[in-house]
Structure 1
Amino acid sequence: MFVQLSSIIGNNVYRDDDKPLYKRGNMQLFVISLILIPILILAKGYYIWRNKSKDKIWNAMSEEERQTYRETTTDEANKRLDFRFDH
């Protein structure tokens, strides 16, 4: 499926009327790359912020409170206080 998808995208970026240097296609990919840089920086900042805010709550808890939280929480996946984003 991914091979088909990449083939469709490739055929729309690198079109026959843009041969042989593909200036338009290369420019489109360059612009997409430039647009993604701030998005990636924002995502990294968000993950750092979420980890710090969870650390603040988690570190304020005693070991008994942490154990009780682990045993009784209904939070799942990244909603848990003991979950950290890897970035």
Structure 2
Amino acid sequence: MRVAAQALRQLKPVQFVIAVPVTPASVCNGLRDDGTSVVCLLTPKPLYNVGQCYDNFSQTTDVPVRELPQKASLWGPASR
């Protein structure tokens, strides 16, 4: 994520925010120390794995992942 933020900064955006559902607090704080705006919904202690924070963390097949961009394009840019 840190490398992605560095690459994005080179494009000189007015602003960008990294948002993650679950991560260690040290990761959020480290990104903030680099000057990145970060939203972390959960920073559990201890964090053994991301799946511990979800009721259902089952694997997703390739089919719905491939269908999502197609469905999103049908909605048009106003609804994104």
TM-score after normalising by structure 1: 0.22
- Structure having the larger proportion of residues in helix: 1
User: Higher Cα Rg: structure 1 or 2?
Assistant: 1
- Structure having the larger proportion of residues in strand: 2
TM-score after normalising by structure 2: 0.23
